[in-house]
Amino acid sequence: MNKKTIRDIDLQGKRALVRVDFNVPLDKATGQITDDTRIRAAVPTIQYLLEHGASVVLMSHLGRPKKQADDKLRLDPVGHRLQELLGRPVQKINTTTSPEAEATAHALKPGDVLLLENTRFDPREEQNDPGLSEDLARLGDVYVNDAFGAAHRAHASTEGVAHYLPAVAGLLMEAELAALGGALDHPERPFVTIIGGAKISDKINVIENLLTKVDALLIGGGMANTFLLAQGYQLGDSLVEPESVDMAKSLIDNAHTNGKHLLLPVDAIIADAFAPDANTNIVSVNTVPQGWRILDIGPETIKHYKAALAGAKTVIWNGPMGVFEMPAFAEGTRAIAQALADLQTKATTIIGGGDSVAAVEQMGLADKMSHISTGGGASLELLEGKELPGVAALQDK
């Protein structure tokens, strides 16, 4: 990574304005945090800043407020949890930029932590308004972007403010870019990627870019159906995207022309309804009856995919193999997760995308992976080969 990080600058006595990703899930009834992964992921950067003599001003969005204050999306629960994790007070104020915010930030001493209110309560945030960027810049001496999960957004707190302060990456941002960027640019081979999820249209650009880099690409999830449709299979009531069939054909031809292995399911778990208690069967992908739909990859496909992964040295996985939220259709995703866990000492394994991350965490296998990405959309855009605005704005080394 050719961007400066917090390791490259003097922090003693500085106010570090830090964009973190505290967009955590909340229980609708109680407002309590149901998964604090993103808060815990930010702790190493915050601790580093404090240990090197800085005070810290934190800013994050949470949810999708309608560009105004929403009491259900205030960052108070985040502040309470962060205080527990840091073992020191975290001051929280109910504003992002204001005379109060400026006065509070300027009164901080080294070792103090201030949490600003939800950045998206200000309608200027998502417009990347220069006025808001300047207001934010007055709260710090240096800007640190540690919000990889929001780095694909050119917002005032993720991109705009970087033009008004010395701007560097935090430790989480550095780790994400090193893992995903390193795998894409300098993979140890064989390099295998696994792409799943519902729709090919969501990941066409990802697949196109990966086919220029990988040795093998394994396709699962609903998107595999469109590839199978492109090969002439009748798929009953399975989810397909007829408008993407030509693109699927083109990707298959592209893989063949360039000597890449594009692996598609050969069998499937089918159901007579999209429901957890539906009747199920295992069939070849060319014998899906009318009234039935593919909801997971089958046991033969699992064997083929595990064989393709067995010798891999670098693996990136983005997207489940089936409707893993329903136990009857979770085996394909579970088998892939276990296959990657079994590579623990033999390969670099990177999990990107919310559903894939949720799957390995549910299965208790997260600690067996080399890197778990905190950014769904940002991970996808990196896999597409795009430059992330929140990264591009940081200072080069």
Intervals of the chain under pLDDT 50:
none
Task: Give the sheet arrangement for strand 15-19, strand by strand.
Answer: 91-92, 113-115, 55-59, 15-19, 142-145, 167-169
Could you check whether 6-172 and 187-383 share the same CATH topology?
yes
Question: Structure pTM?
Answer: 0.90
pLDDT by residue (tens digit) across 210-220? 999 999 999 99
Q: Which residues pair with 349 in a beta bridge?
A: 315
- Eight-state DSSP code of residue 288: P
pLDDT at 315: 97
- The residues annotated with a catalytic role in the active site are 38, 199, 354, 377
- Looking at CATH, the fold of the domain delimited by 187-383 is given as Rossmann fold (3.40.50)
Angle between helices 331-341 and 354-362 (to 10 degrees): 80
Residue among 372, 304, 306 at smallest CA distance from 343:
306
Q: Where are the domains of the chain?
A: 6-172, 187-383
Question: Rounded to an integer, what distance in angstroms lies between the CA atom of residue 18 and that of residue 339?
Answer: 37
Question: Rounded to an integer, what distance in angstroms lies between the CA atom of residue 383 and that of residue 242?
Answer: 25
pLDDT at 371: 94
Question: Rounded to an integer, what distance in angstroms lies between the CA atom of residue 319 and that of residue 376?
Answer: 10
Q: Residue 136: how many CB atoms within 10 A of its CB?
A: 29
Angle between helices 76-86 and 37-51 (to 10 degrees): 60
Q: Containing H/E element for 239?
A: none
CATH of domain 6-172: 3.40.50.1260
Q: How deeply is 307 buried, as exposed, middle or buried, from its count of CB atoms within 10 A (0-12, 13-18, 19+)?
A: exposed
